[in-house]
Structure 1
Amino acid sequence: MKAVFLDYESLDKKDLDFSALHAQFDELILYPATTAAEVDARIQNVDVIISNKVQIQADHMRNNPQLKLILISATGTNNVDLVQAREQGIVVCNCQGYGTAAVAQHTLMLMLNLATSFRQYDRAVQQGEWNKSNQFCLMDFPIVELSGKTLGIVGYGELGKAVAHLAQAFGMKIMIGALPNRPMAAERVAFAEMLPQVDFLSLHCPLTEDTRDLLDGAALAQMKPSAFVINCARGGIVNEPALANALRSGQIAGAATDVLTVEPPKDGNVLLDSSIPNLIITPHSAWGSVDARQRIVQQVVENVEAFKVGLVIRQVN
């Protein structure tokens, strides 16, 4: 089989091993990136397409009837026209669960940074404030212990459970929030009922029409002024202007997000204003540990191996 990886640099920072993937094919061509205009030419005469974010549209498939398999090197499937793939008999497989440890770790990192005022203390030291102190230490910013605090989790799948497990090691109490328009499961608490009770709120649910702007101005107003918000799920679950206003007004104590509504934020974003207090933004990097990215490569290999013997795994169409 002949294969092409259209955007391998979206995964590889010269730190991954692709040898097992090369071994699956008679020929594998790796492209660092591929523009929309380049897709048709690059997938001619190939049996297998590997893509992370490059769009594989209906016309691309119609123009290439030889295609047998599309491997998405990510979980999201919105970059492939699944309807056309199904009509054409092309199997589409994705990767799943590869970033659980990395995202859970990143979530706790953000929580700890907020709880310890890490960025403020680091900045103070860099600016020489410790050198000028009359005491042996600086105590200029609040430090909160996670132990005994209540963590509210919205989205209690594999990732939410991993975050809960880590948080419990710090002595936190866990409260699980119910998603809107879902049957109330055991041990779930209605979202509105949960908000006033939590010290930290961590979001791990998908972005749907039910969860868009889930944490809006009205919801933020129900939280404690000492509470913190962490979003390592999707941009759009938190209303960004409302969050900016809540932080500026002291309605909540702080927030951290790994996601924005538009990524990358080429046209700016209301949350990128440096005047917003106690806000941490990371560039959708929570999933990106070398371990998680190598796990993606391994899952792509597994998907090819399964396809070859007729036992397709992780099929999404």
Structure 2
Amino acid sequence: MKTVILDGQTLNPGDNPWAPIEGIHPVTVYEKTQDEDIIPRSKEADILLTNKTPLTRETLKQLPNLKYIGVLATGYDVVDIKAAAELGIPVTNTPGYANNAVPEHVFALIFECYRQISLHSEQVKQGEWGKNGQFCFWNTPQRELGGKTLGIIGFGNTGNNVARIANAFGMNILAYAPRPKPLPDYDNFSFAELNEVLEKSDIITLHCPLTADTKHIINEQSLALMKHDAVLINTARGPLIDEAAVAKALNEGTLGGLAVDVVSDEPIAKDHPFLSTPNTFITPHLAWATIEARKALMQIAADNITAFLNGTPQNVVNGVTGK
């Protein structure tokens, strides 16, 4: 069995050894793979692991030895799972590894929007507190989370854990889930249709997978339903939002704020509209990247491979159990 990892640098930049996967059998690791190198590096592989390196239908058709694809992420939109299913290749993802990391980052972004801590810290260092002459000062509105309504679009592991933290802050929670989900055991929570979530929420956070149905789920029409002072958070996938429509709403003051950890094309382009829109906070796709989460991801990926080799595949996203 030959295992190839096409883009391992982000999972293990040097602090997260490949031991759990290498302990199964030898592995070839590439830090990053350009499009033109995908087939040459993959053609002998039985097991192929990818994070953001795309595996299209045309690519998969040229990999006759391939028996298994593991996505080193929860989202698996980088793989044509339909084509893989037609070729009899199971595709797995790694759910649950960031159950703490991403929800915690969501609230870091929310607090930045509501309290702008980094701005005020810099202003203190620049002497603004001293110039003020008072025991306190603030240059942006200061808001509390208690009693606010948090709208969660998508209610898998991450959405559920975001709701758990929101409950601890005394927030009211509305969640949109296209498929039935268990109801959490606290009173200030309810499931709602998408339009109701958009209309009633003070803060909206996205936690749905990127599919044909969810691409641009936040668009001109959905923005028109939202409160003009609402804050939008996206730590899931960039294309969930129509970036041009969101930028327009921010510039026109019909959206209160935006905090994103992802954009449609990464890394972010120099002319991206979010770099100049007001009330906008951007982090460089690091919500998932705590050392604890990356170690958990590594172990889940290794467990997925072992389960596949044992004939009991787990976390399969395309319905194929073996080739």
TM-score bracket, shorter-length normalisation: 0.7 to 0.9
Query: What's the C-alpha RMSD, in Å, of the aligned pairs?
Result: 2.7
2:191 corresponds to: 188
Letter in 2 for 1:263: E
Q: 1:82 to 1:13 in 2, by over 3 A?
A: same
8 Å contact kept, 1:178–1:185: no
- Say whether the 8 Å CA contact 2:54–2:78 is kept in structure 1: yes
The equivalent residue for 1:141 is: 140
Runs (4+) of structure 1 exceeding 6 A deviation are: 182-186
CA contact (8 A) 1:8 1:30 kept: yes
Q: How far did 1:58 drift?
A: 5.0
8 Å CA contact 2:152–2:197 kept in 1: the answer is no
Which residue in the other structure is 1:15 paired with? 15
Kindly indicate whether the alpha-carbon contact (under 8 Å) linking 2:75 and 2:209 is maintained by their aligned counterparts in 1.
no
Larger Cα Rg: Structure 1 or Structure 2?
1
2:2 corresponds to which residue? 2
Give the whole-Å Cα distance in 2 for the aligned partners of 1:236 and 1:62.
Answer: 27
The residue type equivalent to 1:21 in the other structure is I
How many percent identity over aligned positions? Answer: 38
Taking structure 1 as reference, are residues 232 and 310 closer, same or farther at Cα in structure 2, changes over 3 Å only?
A: same
Query: How do 1:53-68 and structure 2 match up within 5 A?
Result: 53-58=52-57, 61-68=60-67
The Cα offsets for residues 239-292 of structure 1, whole Å up to 9 and x where unpaired, read as: 32332233333333322112222222336321121xx22111112221122222
Residue 77 of structure 2 contacts residue 210 of structure 2 at CA under 8 Å; is this kept in 1? no
Deviations for 1:14-58, whole angstroms, at most 9, x for unmatched residues?
110211211100x22222122233233333544322222223445
Question: 1:1-317 alignment to 2 at 5 Å?
Answer: 1-25=1-25, 27-58=26-57, 61-177=60-176, 187-266=190-269, 268-273=271-276, 276-317=277-318
Deviations 1:118-175 (A, max 9, x none): 2331232233211312112213321111112111222122211111100111111112
Equivalent-residue separation in structure 2 for 1:89 and 1:219 (angstroms): 38
For the structure 1 residues 279 and 29, does the alpha-carbon distance in structure 2 shift closer, same or farther, using more than 3 Å as the test? Answer: same
Distance 1:48 1:116, change over 3 A: same
Aligned with 1:220: secondary structure?
Answer: helix
Q: Aligned to 2:121, what secondary structure does the other structure show? A: helix
Provide the rounded CA distance (Å) in 2 between the counterparts of 1:62 and 1:297.
Answer: 28
Question: Take 2:87 and 2:255, find their aligned partners in 1: how far apart are those partners?
Answer: 51
The answer to whether the Cα contact below 8 Å between 1:4 and 1:43 also exists between their aligned partners in 2 is: yes
Quick one: which amino acid aligns to residue 75 of structure 2?
G
CA 1:159–1:69: 2 relative to 1, 3 Å: same
Of residues 255-264 and 69-78 in structure 1, the stretch that sits farther from structure 2 once superposed is 69-78
TM-score normalised by length of structure 1:
0.86
Structure 2 segments unaligned to the other structure (5+ residues): 184-189, 319-323
Would the alpha carbon gap of residues 267 and 250 (structure 1) be closer, same or farther in structure 2, given more than 3 Å must change? closer
In the TM superposition, residue 111 of structure 1 has moved relative to its aligned partner by: 0.9
Aligned partners of 2:261 and 2:284 also within 8 Å:
yes
Extract unaligned runs of 5+ from structure 1. Answer: none
TM-score by length of 2: 0.85
Report how far residue 183 of structure 1 moved.
8.6
